[in-house]
């Protein structure tokens, strides 16, 4: 039989590799449409990135029941409180937590923050959601495309076992313990993601 492909992730360079070849990430693929942060100072951007990373890690541990509240930076705990409130409000059942996946045919990779069953105000019954945890205050249209990328990744791999539509949302956590839930319903998001993926493939082929 075929030997399992070796899929690795290098934290320092934030690089996904498959059998020694580098795979573009979802965030890299959607770079042409992402928010322009060029006018924000490097130090501010780095601080925001570090905060996002710390919050993601704390929420990941919390979902695993391994977060030590007393040992966690109080500033980060505000965001964790917001995440707990979201989990309680939606009675969430988490299926995937910070899962790294690669697409076997389209050759890209990414880390899905969460896949969870939720009950939201608009839905009378439980639905399956793909969630992106954000520490930014406001949603950006590119988030919908980013989530479509994860949705494609999920559907081609572990998502095969669920015979239901997967919804997309970002959960914006705030330092004061509150959150904002933003759903993405634009059907064109998927086409835009594929277009961005094609752009990268074209650049690779014409180096």
Mind listing the pLDDT tens digit for each residue in 41-72?
889 989 999 999 999 999 999 999 999 999 99
Mean pLDDT value across residues 100-129: 92
Average pLDDT of the residues in 103-129: 91
User: Which candidate, 203, 92, 104, places its Cα nearest to that of 152?
Assistant: 104
pTM: 0.92
> Half-sphere exposure (CA, 13 Å, Cβ side) for 45?
8
Encoded tokens for 14: 């934030």
pLDDT at res. 165: 84
Does position 1 have pLDDT exceeding 80, yes or no? no
111-143: b (≥16 Cβ within 10 Å) or e: bbbbbbbbebeeeeebbbbbbbbbbeeebeebb
């Amino acid at each position: 039989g075929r030997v399992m492909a070796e899929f690795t992730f290098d934290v320092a360079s934030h690089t996904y590799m498959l059998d020694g070849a580098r795979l573009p990430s979802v965030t890299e693929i959607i770079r042409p449409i992402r928010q322009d942060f060029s006018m924000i100072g490097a130090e501010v951007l780095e601080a925001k990135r570090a905060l996002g990373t710390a919050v993601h890690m704390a929420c990941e541990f919390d979902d695993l029941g391994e977060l030590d509240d007393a040992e966690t930076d109080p500033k980060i705990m505000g965001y964790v409180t917001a995440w707990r409130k979201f989990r309680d409000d939606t009675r969430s059942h988490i299926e995937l937590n910070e899962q790294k996946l690669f697409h076997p045919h389209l050759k890209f990779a990414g880390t899905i923050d969460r896949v969870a069953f939720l009950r939201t105000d608009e839905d009378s019954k439980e639905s399956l959601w793909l969630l992106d945890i954000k520490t930014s205050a406001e949603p950006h249209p590119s988030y919908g495309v980013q989530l479509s990328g994860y949705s494609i990744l999920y559907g081609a791999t572990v998502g095969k076992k669920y015979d239901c539509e997967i919804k997309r949302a970002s959960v914006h956590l705030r330092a004061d313990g509150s959150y904002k839930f933003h759903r993405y319903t634009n059907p064109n998001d998927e086409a835009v993601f594929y277009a961005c993926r094609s752009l990268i493939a074209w650049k690779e082929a014409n180096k």
